[in-house]
Amino acid sequence: MKARDITAFLHGKSATIVAAVFAFVSCVVAWQRGAVIPIEGDLGVGFPSANMWIASARTSAIVNMALTAVVALAMLYINRVFNVLRSLTSLVATMFLVLQAAVPSALGQFYGGTILALLVMICCGLLFSVFGERLGQRHVFLVFFLFAGAAFTQVGYLFFLPALLLGVMQMRIFSLKSFLAALLGTITPPWILFGFGLVTPDQLQWPGMAFELWHLFESNDMVPTFVTIGVTLLTGIGFTVANLMKILSYNSRVRAYNGFLTMMLIYTSVLVVLNFGNFMFYVPLLNCLVAYQIGHFFTYRRNNRSYVAILAVAAVYVGLYIWAVAA
């Protein structure tokens, strides 16, 4: 196979299918090896957090893998509809699946982190579709409604409200009306839940920002996860810096789309550090946003030999996965 054909394969849907199969097999092996470390479900504000919704560990893994596939498809949809990367490529979804597989605890169980990644993709679609329009208040309301409602199961969703408001500004739809729409979207879920008695004030609890961090380091089982997330953070920073000048050269619409994704990556990275006691919640979204940066870089720098660098990045994460299941 020629170099050009290998590069084309990695950017195509076939590579995404291979990555999906790899993610599925890696999840099965991780479960058999005991590498999927259960995430404690104690961070619900008014309702149980998502990882407590499904009692069966096997069902939880299946549901999460299916939801991960939906996130990957949503990434492809966003790029196809809004031309975010200025090219039709499936590499973003392929890399997302590889990055997810490298963290067995993020792929092998259903929890709020995967829902967060999907919600952000949904919000990208809602905000991108009203770029520069004066009548985008309905979309703004829905974005804030979704996150405010989800916050009753996991306080981490609340931390994204400021970033979403910045996103409204980036889409050039910020106004008094859109601000009021955001405010109304934020207060509507608690108004409904309290009004119908679905949640009472005595049920509310505000979990600590971080618990005793030394407990996280007591077991060597967590070391591969920490290292993998650290590698992902550095990878995201590197590719973001490399993409910056290219992003600035785009027209205002595409620049705003990429600017929002870049801002969300920086924001999520900061939350991983500041809210380290709840760091696993942010991992799927972090992987999603970093995958966009990787895909962007190799799309505009696409050449016959670029497959070498793509495979090198993938090989690093396959190695991290092997370390995780062997630890």
Q: What is the pLDDT of residues 271-296, one digit of tens each?
A: 999 988 889 999 999 999 999 999 99
| Residue 46 binned pLDDT confidence (cut-offs 50, 70, 90) | confident
| Residue 49 binned pLDDT confidence (cut-offs 50, 70, 90) | confident
pLDDT greater than 90 at residue 320: yes
Residue 32 exposure: Cα atoms within 13 Å on the Cβ side: 6
Look at residue 210 in the predicted model and tell me its pLDDT.
42
Which is more confidently placed, 287 or 196? 287
Look at residue 277 in the predicted model and tell me its pLDDT.
81
| DSSP summary character for residue 39 | P
Look at residue 300 in the predicted model and tell me its pLDDT.
92
Look at residue 209 in the predicted model and tell me its pLDDT.
45
Burial of 164 (0-12, 13-18, 19+ CB in 10 A): buried
Look at residue 212 in the predicted model and tell me its pLDDT.
41
Residue spans of the domains in the chain: they are 3-207+219-326
Q: How far apart are CA 251 and CA 295, in angstroms?
A: 19
Q: Which residues contact 47 (CB under 8 A, 6 or more apart)?
A: 152, 153, 199
Q: Whole-model pTM? A: 0.94
Q: How far apart are CA 314 and CA 200, in angstroms?
A: 48
Mean pLDDT of the chain, nearest integer: 91
pLDDT greater than 90 at residue 217: no
pLDDT greater than 90 at residue 196: no
Tokens 């309301």 correspond to 141
- Sign for the CA dihedral angle at 121, 143, 271, 62 comes to negative
pLDDT digits (tens, 9 = 90+) for 220-240: 678 999 999 999 999 999 999
pLDDT greater than 70 at residue 206: no
Look at residue 41 in the predicted model and tell me its pLDDT.
58
Look at residue 215 in the predicted model and tell me its pLDDT.
46
Q: How far apart are CA 277 and CA 40, in angstroms?
A: 11
**Which residue type, as a one-letter code, is found at position 231?**
V
pLDDT digits (tens, 9 = 90+) for 72-129: 999 999 999 999 998 999 999 999 999 999 999 999 999 999 999 999 999 999 999 9
- Sign for the CA dihedral angle at 210, 212, 214, 218 comes to negative
Tokens 């993409």 correspond to 243
**Long-range contacts formed by 314-322: CB under 8 A, 24+ apart:** 314/95, 314/98, 316/231, 317/98, 317/99, 317/101, 317/102, 317/228, 317/231, 318/98, 318/102, 320/102, 320/224, 320/227, 320/228, 320/231, 321/26, 321/101, 321/102, 321/104
| Residue 302 binned pLDDT confidence (cut-offs 50, 70, 90) | confident
Q: Nearest to residue 103, comparing CAs of 7, 203, 30, 3?
A: 30
Q: In the chain, count of helices (H) and strands (E)? A: 14, 0
